[in-house]
């Protein structure tokens, strides 16, 4: 099923890649009850809602040459590894960093990377407000991916500091995408981003890719201390 669906997006998964997705599903089902990874770990839901949607996002970015074979990619608030790890399986030459604040989830992500024998993948435990000031991470990524992390005004402050000038923040949003963009006007001006939107071709409710081009350096004061971007968005 997954291989056939991936072909719809122009992605040809070989046997080794399909085996990695099978191993991913098995490990997710094993860990999910104790690490609170996904609300429903049944095969149909994981394949349809998580694997396919992640691959559809990767295909849309690849088609537009936003995702490149050598891209350095950050998945912020990675949780169970979506969308970053499925994209890494499909395009193994990218360099992927997963950031997650919850230690149980980063333990799963490290076990996943080892089980899938993925290279050029690293996992960081911590909050974006703190890691965004680390010199080895700030301004270091071509792409920052975020799925169900925070409303856009907050997400911009959390994610854009990690992106290099000329790179992009990629957020997947639902029916409120335009409203969130309108609310984020001040944050975009302060943080140095310019947005555009692209429909995400997936079954079910409408989803939109919000891509934010980073045009200039984010001021050093951002992100503010832990919790402030959510309590008091720009």
Mean pLDDT is lowest, of 70-84, 130-144, 197-211, for: 197-211
pLDDT, position 32:
95
| Cβ contacts of 69-73, under 8 Å, gap ≥ 24 | 69/93, 69/94, 70/94, 70/95, 71/95, 71/142, 71/143, 72/97, 72/140, 72/141, 72/142, 72/143, 73/97, 73/141, 73/142, 73/143, 73/144, 73/145
Within 38-120, strands assigned E span: 72-76, 95-100
CB 173 within 8 A of CB 198: no
**pLDDT band at residue 218 under the 50/70/90 scheme:** very high
22 - beta bridge partners? Answer: none
Average pLDDT, the chain: 96
Residue 46 scores a pLDDT above 90:
yes
Asked if 50 contacts 86 with a C-beta cutoff of 8 angstroms, the reply is: yes
CATH number at residue 103: 3.40.50.150
Overall number of domains in the chain? 1
SS3 content of the chain, % helix, strand, coil (to 5): 45, 20, 35
**Domain that includes residue 54, residue range:** 2-231
Chain CA centroid to CA 167, Å: 14
pLDDT of residue 149: 86
Q: What's the pLDDT at 155?
A: 97
Give me the pLDDT at residue 1, please.
83
With contact defined as beta carbons under 8 Å apart, do 54 and 83 qualify?
yes
- Distances in Å between the Cα of 209 and the Cα atoms of 2, 145, 215, 227 are 22, 10, 18, 26
How far, CA to CA in Å, does 48 sit from each of 16, 19, 42, 89? Answer: 20, 17, 10, 16
User: What confidence tens digit (pLDDT) does each residue in 143-159 have?
Assistant: 999 987 899 999 999 99
Average pLDDT over residues 104-133: 97
Radius of gyration, CA atoms only, the chain: 17
pLDDT score for 138 = 98
DSSP 122-177: EEEES-HHHHTT-TTTTT-EEEEEEESSS-HHHHHHHHGGGEEEEEEEEEEE-TTH
Do residues 168 and 211 make contact, with C-beta atoms less than 8 angstroms apart?
yes
Question: What mean pLDDT is predicted for residues 204-222?
Answer: 95
What are 57-83's pLDDT values in tens digits?
999 999 999 999 999 999 999 999 999
Q: What is the pLDDT of residue 204?
A: 85
């Amino acid at each position: 099923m997954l291989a056939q669906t991936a072909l719809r997006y122009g992605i040809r998964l070989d046997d080794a890649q399909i085996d990695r997705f099978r191993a991913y599903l098995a490990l997710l089902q094993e860990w999910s009850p104790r690490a609170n990874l996904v609300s429903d770990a049944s095969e149909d839901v994981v394949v349809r809602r998580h694997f396919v949607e992640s691959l559809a996002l990767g295909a849309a970015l690849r088609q537009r040459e936003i995702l490149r074979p050598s891209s350095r990619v950050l998945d912020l608030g990675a949780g169970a590894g979506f969308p970053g790890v499925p994209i890494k399986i499909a395009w193994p030459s990218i360099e992927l960093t997963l950031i997650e604040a919850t230690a149980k989830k980063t333990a799963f992500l490290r076990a996943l990377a080892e089980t899938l024998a993925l290279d050029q993948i690293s996992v960081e435990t911590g909050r974006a407000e703190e890691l965004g000031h680390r010199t080895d991470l700030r301004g270091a990524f071509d792409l920052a991916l975020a799925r169900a992390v925070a409303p856009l005004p907050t997400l911009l402050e959390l994610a854009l500091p990690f992106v290099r000038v000329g790179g992009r923040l990629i957020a997947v949003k639902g029916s409120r995408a335009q409203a969130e963009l309108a609310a984020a006007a001040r944050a975009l001006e302060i943080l140095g981003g310019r947005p555009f939107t692209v429909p995400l071709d997936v079954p079910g409710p409408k989803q939109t890719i919000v891509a934010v081009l980073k045009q200039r350096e984010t001021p050093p004061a951002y992100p503010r201390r832990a919790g402030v971007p959510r309590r008091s968005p720009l």
